[in-house]
């Protein structure tokens, strides 16, 4: 699928890009992978990892800059859209900036991809886009909507757009596991709420979901990976079993439980062995056999929530994962 193809990843110096690039180079033999991002220092650091590999290129640019996107997308076949303003408190205090990147940036990318005749585009989304409770989630819901509608916006062009949605990425920069590891020696771990639950997904699983989307998509689908849940207390115990837990309360805009498929989405959602697929409600695309394939429609009122999930990860399983991946946690 991706052999001898040119791939561009926006926000490619982030946690996802640092995993996607080596996995894709190893699994496929792409002609070129272009890292498109605005932080020159992160690009410089990442470039050292791939020094000597002519397939990896770096392009300074911002998704807010449509003209720069047009230049970067020249000759590109596949795009992964990972660029986002995603820290919840940052978005709450800087709403204009969040909207410019997450919504206007998405619109810029869609128009540029259509005009440059890109084949396939997969955008990374988040659980926070389902029934959003904060600005970040609201902007990602808007982004999801414009990527889905981009398939009709493309008109006679062959460019197709889809979305992948997943929850807390284990060990990624800024997430709870590396934070707990950094302060565990203090003997006290701050817990927002003892009832809080989160979905748990590895970056490798996230990359594989993007590969699957590229291979499966007709355009307009939102792919949701089936992954386990964990209670925040179990996460803390996996990091430091003897640490005291201090309840500090939920931050502004934060949810008690994560949700990736809402009851409203259930009307258009199909279940598969390893994932769910939300089909677009517009243009009767939800009844397209090419999009449904061998999927089974979920029951009315179905909700995919970290609280009611059937699959749970234990503290022991997370502790084993931390031991195995300790060297790269927080650096990816």
Measured N-to-C along each axis, helices 135-153 and 105-115 cross at an angle, to the nearest 10 degrees, of 20
Distance from C-alpha of 72 to C-alpha of 94, rounded to nearest angstrom: 28
Choosing from 42, 86, 128, 225, the catalytic residue is 128
Distance from C-alpha of 163 to C-alpha of 238, rounded to nearest angstrom: 32
Can you list the positions of beta strands (E) in 226-295?
229-231, 244-247, 259-261, 269-271, 275-278
Residue with tokens 């590109």: 76
Compute the C-alpha angle 303/137/94, nearest 5°: 165
Residue 153's contacts (CB-CB under 8 Å, 6 or more residues apart) are 110, 114
| Strands 6-10 and 78-81, bridge-based pairing | parallel
Compute the C-alpha angle 31/210/14, nearest 5°: 80
3-state percent helix, strand, coil for the chain, nearest multiple of 5: 40, 20, 35
Closest C-alpha to 314, from 242, 250, 231, 239: 231
State residue 104 phi and psi, 5-degree precision: -65, -40
Active site residue 128: yes
In what side-by-side order are the strands of the sheet with 56-60? 56-60, 32-37, 6-10, 78-81, 120-126, 160-166, 222-225, 275-278, 269-271, 296-297
Residues that are catalytic: 128
């Amino acid at each position: 699928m991706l052999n001898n193809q040119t791939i561009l990843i926006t926000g490619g110096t982030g946690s996802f890009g640092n995993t996607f690039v080596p996995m894709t180079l190893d699994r496929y033999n792409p002609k070129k992978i272009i890292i498109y991002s605005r932080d020159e220092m992160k690009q410089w650091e990442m470039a050292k990892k791939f020094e000597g590999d002519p397939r990896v290129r770096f392009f300074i640019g911002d998704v807010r800059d449509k003209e720069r996107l047009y230049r970067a997308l020249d000759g590109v076949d596949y795009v992964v859209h990972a660029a986002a303003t995603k820290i919840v408190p940052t978005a709450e205090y800087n709403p204009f900036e969040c909207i410019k990147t997450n919504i206007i940036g998405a619109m810029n990318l869609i128009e540029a991809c259509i005009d440059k005749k890109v084949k396939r585009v997969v955008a990374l989304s988040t659980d926070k886009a389902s029934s959003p409770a904060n600005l970040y989630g609201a902007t990602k819901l808007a982004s999801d909507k414009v990527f889905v509608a981009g398939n009709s916006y493309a008109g006679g062009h062959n460019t197709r757009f889809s979305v992948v949605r997943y929850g807390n990425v284990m060990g990624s920069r800024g997430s709870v596991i590396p934070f707990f590891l950094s302060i565990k020696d203090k003997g006290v771990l701050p817990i927002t709420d003892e009832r809080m639950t989160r979905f748990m997904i590895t970056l490798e699983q996230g990359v594989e979901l993007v590969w699957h989307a590229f291979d499966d998509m007709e355009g307009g689908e939102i792919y949701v990976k089936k992954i386990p849940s964990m209670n925040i207390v179990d996460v803390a115990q996996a990091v430091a079993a003897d640490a005291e837990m201090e309840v500090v309360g939920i931050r502004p805009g934060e949810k008690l439980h994560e949700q990736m498929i809402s009851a409203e989405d259930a009307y258009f959602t199909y279940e598969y062995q390893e994932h769910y697929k939300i089909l677009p409600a517009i243009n009767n695309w939800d009844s397209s056999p090419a999009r449904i394939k061998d999927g089974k429609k979920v029951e009315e009122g179905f909700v995919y929530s970290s609280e009611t999930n059937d699959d749970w990860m234990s503290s022991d399983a997370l502790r084993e994962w931390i031991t195995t991946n300790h060297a790269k946690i927080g650096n990816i």
